[in-house]
Amino acid sequence: MVSKTMKPKKINLSVTEITTSSISLNWTEPLGNSSFYRVQWTNGSSTLNKSVFDKTTTISNLTAGGSYNIKVTAVAADDQTEGESVSTVKYTSKLTWKAPQPS
């Protein structure tokens, strides 16, 4: 008997925090068989990715004020069957400098 892997459905992605050097994400577990999540981000010149086994992650070591295209995909236990990817574009916070106040 051949077992068929049920394709994971689309996740519901939320951005929970943005700093000058990181973007934090969380998402709901999709219907279907998902074993882990593939998180990919690009700033236009380079693309990085990581596998995540929880429903939350923080992408770190980002450039302040940079634009990042982030994509999260649920992946089934067979490591091949993928659900529909969800993408968002976010900017990290810009560095701000405040002049010291005269005393």
- Please calculate the CA angle 97-47-70 and round it to the nearest 5 degrees: 70
pLDDT at 18: 97
Report pLDDT digits (tens) over 49-78: 999 999 999 999 999 999 999 999 999 989
d(CA 51, CA 63): 22
DSSP state of 16: E
Q: Which residue has the higher pLDDT, 91 or 5?
A: 91
Report pLDDT digits (tens) over 27-46: 998 988 899 999 999 998 99
Question: Residue for token digits 């659900």?
Answer: 83
Closest alpha carbon to 32 in 73, 60, 62: 73
pLDDT at 4: 65
Share of the chain above pLDDT 70, in %: 94
d(CA 16, CA 33): 25
Question: Residue for token digits 């700033």?
Answer: 43
